[in-house]
Amino acid sequence: MNPVLKLLIDGGSLTTSQMAKVAGLTEAEVNQQLEQLKKEKIFLGWRPVLDLSHEAAAAGAVRGVIEVRITPERGGGFNRLADRISRFDEVESCYLMSGGYDLLVFVKGGSLQKVASFVSEKLSTIEGVLSTSTHFMLRCYKEQGFLLDGGEAQSARLDIAP
C-alpha cells in the first residue's frame, strides 16, 4: 500500500513533515503523493475534529440525522436522488443504507428552526422522497475516533523500566 495513504489511515494526526520522517521520504515527496491521491479522489481533504460541546467550536450550529426513504429510479437506482440531496450545503454526509430506510443524512444548521425548515421545505418536497424522520443530536461522546470525556487517563508509565 502507498505508505502515505497508510499513514493517513492510521498515522494519527501527523503533519506532512512528520509523515516524511516516518515513511523515509522527503516532505516534497509526501506532498506529491498527497496530490496524486487527491487526483485519484482517494484523499479528499483535511478536516479538523472539534469537540462541539464547546460553544466556540460548535459556533451555534445544530446537528441532526435524518432517515430518508426514497423511490429508486429505473437505470440509476438511488444515485440521482442521493446526489441531489448531498449537494445541499446543510448536508455534511449522506450514506445509502440497508434496512428500514434508504439514506442516512447528517445535516448542520444555524438553529433548530433552520434545520427543521431545511427538512420540511427542501428535503421532503423533492420528488421521489417518500418520508423523512429527523433526530437532533443532544450530546457527543466520541467523534471520529476521539473520546470526548473521560478518555484514557494520562499515561503513568514509568520513565525507565526493565
Partner 1 sequence: MSTDPKKWVAGHVAALPKSGIRDFFELVAKLKGQGVISLGVGEPDFVTPWHIREAAIFALERGKTYYTSNLGLIELRRAISTYVEEHFAVSYRPDDQIIVTVGVSEALDLACRAFINPGDKVMFHQPCYVSYHPSVALAHGNAIAVPTFAKDNFALTAEALRAAWQPGAKMLMLNLPCNPTGGTCDRAQLEAIAKFCIEKDLLVLTDEIYSELTFDGSHTSIASLPGMANRTVFLHGFSKAFAMTGWRIGYACGPAPLIDAMMKVHQYSMLCASIIAQEAALEALKHGWDSVLKMREQYHRRRDLVVRRFNEIGLTCHSPRGSFYAFPNVATTGLSEKDFAVGLLEKEKVAVVPGLAFGENGRGHVRACFATSYEQLIEACDRMERFVQSGQR
Considering beta carbons, is residue 1 or 56 the nearer one to partner 1?
1
Shortest CB 34 distance to partner 1, Å = 17
Considering beta carbons, is residue 11 or 128 the nearer one to partner 1?
11
Q: Answer whether 44's CB lies under 8 Å from 77's CB.
A: no
Stated as kind and residue range, the H or E segment containing 47 is none
Considering beta carbons, is residue 15 or 79 the nearer one to partner 1?
15
Residues that bind partner 1 (CB under 8 A): 10-12, 14, 18, 21-22, 24, 152, 155, 157-162
Considering beta carbons, is residue 22 or 104 the nearer one to partner 1?
22
Query: What is the DSSP secondary-structure string of 88-139?
Result: STTEEEEEE-SSS-SEEEEEEESSHHHHHHIIIIIITTSTTEEEEEEEE---
State the amino acid at position 129 in one-letter form: V
What burial class does residue 85 get, using C-beta atoms within 10 Å of its C-beta: 0-12 exposed, 13-18 middle, 19+ buried?
Answer: buried
Shortest CB 145 distance to partner 1, Å = 13
Q: Which three cell numbers stand for residue 53?
A: 460541546
